[in-house]
């Protein structure tokens, strides 16, 4: 396709010049779907070669915006896991083994997360209908929704930023969500409130979330750890050979 620039209303409009009527019709159909994202109207200019009248008409054409459906409201969470990141989903072990500590969740950053730990939490959330609230300092510089999408974890919210320890921030979030019936906290720091101790699972920054802390999380949500992730069926051990028949 060729490019032509037509001056109109003190601005330059980029005009595609197609030599095939079918391509023009197809492009108009695509643009009619793409126009109006976010509820704003867009003016799309198309022209056929050699038609100044068509250029003027196209420059005034307004495509109807596409209205997206309203998002479905989610049920209030009744089972919540308060999640720390550093020392849980990454550790000294992963930093040495994978070559660094993640500071973002782009492709390079995701490669530095402990995929086994992420997978165990993902399985726990699926098997136990558990939602995640981000209590990590990652919430200060990253959007919890984007982090949840990148890690494929159901992160629905984050704790508020308050003066004091992390336990106070968790308590403040719980006070505003009386619908929560069961919760757990996983963190490598121990700055929790006394009443939160029975629901607190502490990891270590050297190893992160390993099998034994994961078992404690499963117990707090009454979830069988072998119902998490892909290990939903266990293959029985093969029958031992009967050497006496040989």
Q: Is the pLDDT of residue 22 over 50?
A: no
List Cα–Cα distances, 241 to 234, 235, 236, 237, 245, in angstroms.
Answer: 21, 18, 15, 12, 9
Inter-residue contact 198 to 182 (CB < 8 Å)? no
Domain regions of the chain by residue span: 2-63, 79-227
Inter-residue contact 148 to 162 (CB < 8 Å)? no
DSSP state of 133: E
Strand order from edge to edge, sheet including 46-47: 2-8, 11-17, 46-47
User: Rounded to the nearest 5°, which phi and psi values hold at 146?
Assistant: -65, -40
In this prediction, what percent of the chain has a pLDDT beyond 90? 61
Q: What is the pLDDT of residues 170-220, one digit of tens each?
A: 999 999 999 999 999 999 999 999 999 999 999 999 999 999 999 999 999
Question: What's the chain's Rg over C-alpha atoms?
Answer: 27
Mean pLDDT of 156-170: 95
pLDDT on residue 235: 57
CATH entry 3.40.50.1000 includes domain 79-227: yes
pLDDT on residue 108: 95
pLDDT band for 231, please (50, 70, 90 cuts): low
Q: What is the pLDDT of residues 112-152, one digit of tens each?
A: 999 999 999 999 999 999 999 999 999 999 999 999 999 99
């Amino acid at each position: 396709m060729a490019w032509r620039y037509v001056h109109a209303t003190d601005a330059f409009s980029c005009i595609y010049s197609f030599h095939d009527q079918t391509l023009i019709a197809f492009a108009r159909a695509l643009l009619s779907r793409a126009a109006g994202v976010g509820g704003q109207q867009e003016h799309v200019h198309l022209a056929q070669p050699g038609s100044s009248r068509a250029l003027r008409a196209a420059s005034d054409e307004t495509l109807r915006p596409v209205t997206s459906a309203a998002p479905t409201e989610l049920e209030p969470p009744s089972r919540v896991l308060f999640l720390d990141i550093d020392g849980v989903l990454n550790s000294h072990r992963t930093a040495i083994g994978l070559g660094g500590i993640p500071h973002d969740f782009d492709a390079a950053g995701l490669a530095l997360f402990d995929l086994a730990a992420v997978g165990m939490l993902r399985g726990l959330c699926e098997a136990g209908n558990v939602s995640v609230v981000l209590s990590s300092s990652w919430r200060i510089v990253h959007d919890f929704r984007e982090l949840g999408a990148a890690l494929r974890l159901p992160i629905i919210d984050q704790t508020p930023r308050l003066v004091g320890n992390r336990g106070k921030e968790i308590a403040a979030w719980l006070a505003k969500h009386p619908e929560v019936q069961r919760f757990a906290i996983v963190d490598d720091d121990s700055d929790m409130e006394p009443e939160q101790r029975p629901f607190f699972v502490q990891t270590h920054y050297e190893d992160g979330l390993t099998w034994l802390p994961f078992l404690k999380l499963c117990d707090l949500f009454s979830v069988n750890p072998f119902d998490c992730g892909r290990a939903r069926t266990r293959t029985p051990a093969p029958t031992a050979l009967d050497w006496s028949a040989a």
